[in-house]
Amino acid sequence: SYHGMFPKLPLGYTKKFIENLSGAGKCIGVLTSGGDAQGMNAAVRAVVRMGIYVGAKVYFIHEGYQGMVDGGDNIKEASWESVSSMLQVGGTVIGSARCKDFRTHEGRLRAALNLVQRGITNLCVIGGDGSLTGANLFREEWSGLLDELVQSGEISEEASQIHSALHIVGMVGSIDNDFCGTDMTIGTDSALHRIIEVVDAIMTTAQSHQRTFVLEVMGRHCGYLALVSALACGADWVLIPEMPPKDGWEEQMCYKLSESRLRGSRLNIIIVAEGATDRHGNPISSNAVKELVVRCLGFDTRVTILGHVQRGGTPSAFDRILASRMGVEAVLALLEASPGTPACVVSLCGNQAVRVPLMECVQMTQEVQKAMDEKRFEEAVRLRGSSFNVAVLNVGAPAAGMNAAVRSAVRVGITEGHTMFAVSDGFEGFYKGQIKEIKWGDVGGWTGQGGSLLGTKRTLPAKHIDKIAEQMRIHNINALLVIGGFEAYLGLMELQAARSKHAELCVPMVMVPATVSNNIPGSDLSIGADTALNAITDTCDRIKQSASGTKRRVFIIETMGGYCGYLATVGGLAAGADAAYIYEEPFDIRELQSNVEHLTEKMKTSIQRGLVLRNENCSENYTTDFIYQLYNEEGKGVFDCRKNVLGHMQQGGAPSPFDRNFGTKIAAKAMQWISKKLKEFYREGRVFANTEDSACLLGMRRRALVFQPVIQLKDETDFVHRIPKEQWWLRLRPLMKILAKYKTSYDVSDSGQLEHIVHPSI
């Protein structure tokens, strides 16, 4: 009954489908402006293909606003094939340039003429706040510019009437993540990947020689890259523009570094944003920090300035998916725009695409800079947005990011005054008594390590409840933090069910989802899933590249996930797959045959390589071997086939920046909830928690992290196949098919609605 089911829509929404939105007669121009960012090409590809899909003409505007002003061959109509093989390419293939001409009235007049001559009245601008501000000014002047062109005789009165309104939709492409109104900008996650790759490499040499490294990262006005990379690598100190250190910071930092060495650490990492200053506005350079450490501590210290490395390289899976979703949303926004619709920006709020007025975002971003210029640092940060024993354990299969979550939980718990206990090997280690106190220094360097350093097993607690309760009593455990997958979810339910027989289990319990399968009810995302997606995407890129220059070839790739098709679907979207077979959408031999025929037609006309993903449990009979043999047989004379089973490489490797950051934040929030519940349920010298809301799962739901009683999630769970009955990412499947040139029905009921920015002080 749940096959193909979409999540319930908020009240007030009615279903609407893409086939009811027509782009016939519309012309859309797409440009990238300002600095480049990884993922821009994925956004361009999505705009072009969705635009063509709805019947619109789409034009590349090469070299940003300069190409719009110069016209000629800089403005060319795009075809479906013209955006093939650009998904995995960094930078922007249509070029970007900073344009002085567009800042003048004469330049904007020439740009208007070039657009009208091609019938373009819809612009999709991918860039930073300067690029988007310029686009809004252009829109405001549009009618006046057309009047001037009519008066000069360069266009007719009729052309002026036909093209009387210019619609603008923006997408923010910036590695700095310095634009208010969106949680993440296109390119930020990829830049974090570059930083973390460098930090991970540096840490090995630093440890060998007991060195201190000072890393300078980009961020002239925004410290996001510095702060999140510091969280993701477990840096000792971080300096960012929004939070200049208080006077005397030099002594405090040196004391912290010295204390770390005394605890046995062999290295120190200091991360400095390029725009870091002190409270008096004096710049703090990476070299100045190095000289300070050498002078005060005598530590062997090196400086590494990452520079434009952060802009380069292939986009991460997150940026490809984000840019693809935003590109499609931008086209929908243009189709729905009326003459009175304000220019908007497509933004990400939690896991939800939203549209926000462009100038509200720009004004808020400028307020941040103004507050920093006036040294109102606390406001700038706001504009960006008793002792107990607590046990933490990992349950289920290992997932990259688990260690970051454990480290965060331990350190936040200690900061809040708790004594933290580590349980080895999940519930199996729990009932065997493999429990010991874990201290601040014990989790040093854990953030960047894959797998589970605590050890994890799939054992469920039900058969060992008596022994687990006894261990809870022996160690006086007052709260539990369980980090893991579906077994952790089932285990928490079993512990809660046993409370009636064991008072020791009447303590606050919270689960943080960590599984590559992303199959936990109550959460859109799980720790480890992003790392697995990057492994899939990187492998697919390499596999496709291996066929470069050879004859036409189709690759059949098997992904993990149990019965959950998340990795196959979202990995397929990120890698540009032609099809993805999953359990949630049953398929038969007729659909397989149709897919082969569709791919054959594409192969005959343009593309040289095809990609098909298959979830490991999508069908009992249509196995990877069967699909491989079918495609191989039916494609004879047109293409040949290869197959790959990715296996456990999807679980291994260092966690991605997203998983490190997500694990750190969600575990910290879980510990804060535990502290609150411990105070709430502490009575007469003991903790006693027996309510439904004292055993919760902390999950990302659309826009926010939400605590949900596990007992209330039962009805949302298919326990036989270990998946949620409703899964948000099923909405992305039609999008994947559209971008692969299939005609399909696409429910856009949940597309972003125009929303206003809420000022943090309100």
Question: What whole-number distance in Å separates Cα of residue 518 and Cα of residue 526?
Answer: 5
What are the tokens at 645? 């089973």
Question: In one letter, which amino acid is 600?
Answer: T
User: What six digits make up the tokens of 520?
Assistant: 């936990």
| 739-749 b/e (C-beta count within 10 Å ≥ 16 → b) | bbbeeeebebe
Distances (CA, A) of 481 to 409, 420, 463: 8, 10, 20
Say if CB 735 and CB 559 are below 8 A apart.
no
Q: Which two tokens stand for residue 21?
A: 């939105």
C-beta atoms surrounding 442 within 10 Å: 16
How many Å apart are CA 176 and CA 171, to the nearest integer? Answer: 14
Among 336, 354, 234, 219, which Cα is nearest to 277's? 219
Give the CA-trace dihedral at 102, 105, 107, 109, to 10 degrees. Answer: 120
Q: SS3 for 446? A: coil
> Is 659 among the catalytic positions?
no
**Residue set of the binding site for substrate:** 174-176, 211, 218-220, 274, 302, 308-311
Among the listed residues 465, 443, 449, 472, the one whose alpha carbon sits nearest the alpha carbon of residue 264 = 443
Residue type (1 letter), 338: S
Pinpoint the alpha helices (H) of 337-357. Answer: none
- Are 154 and 117 in contact, with CB atoms under 8 Å apart? no
Catalytic residue of the set 176, 178, 425, 578: 176
Please, which residues bridge with residue 611 across strands? Answer: 555
Q: Summarize the annotated binding site as residue ranges.
A: 35, 98-99, 128-131, 174-176, 211, 218-220, 274, 302, 308-311, 458, 515-519, 553, 560-562, 616, 642, 648-651, 722
Q: Where are the alpha helices (DSSP H) in 516-565?
A: 529-546
Rounded Cα distance between 192 and 303, Å, is 19
Question: How remote is the C-alpha of 292 from its chain's centroid?
Answer: 36
Strand partners, 643: 556
Binding residues for ATP: 35, 98-99, 128-131
Question: Which helix H or strand E contains 559, and what residues bound it?
Answer: strand 553-559
Bridge-based pairing state of the strands 301-305 and 212-217: parallel
Give dist(CA 437, CA 337) in Å, integer. 59
Q: Which helix (H) or strand (E) holds 718?
A: strand 717-718
CA angle 41, 47, 49 (to 5 degrees): 100
State the pairing for strand pair 389-395/419-423.
parallel
Residue 420 neighbours by CB under 8 Å, 6+ apart: 390, 391, 392, 409, 410, 413, 414, 437, 438, 439
Q: Is 33 helix (H, G, I), strand (E, B) or coil?
A: coil
Please give the Cα distance from 573 to 734 (Å, whole number). Answer: 10
Cβ neighbors of 123 (< 8 A, separation 6 or more) are 28, 29, 30, 31, 115, 135, 138, 166, 167, 168, 169
**Residue 231 near residue 405 (C-beta atoms within 8 A):** no
Tokens found for residue 333: 């926004």
> What's the N-to-C CA distance of the chain in angstroms?
44
Which residues on adjacent β-strands are paired with residue 273? 217
- One-letter identity of residue 606: S
Contact 110, 141 (CB under 8 A): no
C-alpha distances in Å from residue 715, one per residue of 135, 309, 484: 48, 48, 20
Residue type, position 453, single letter: L
Give SS3 for 658: helix
Active-site residue numbers? Answer: 176
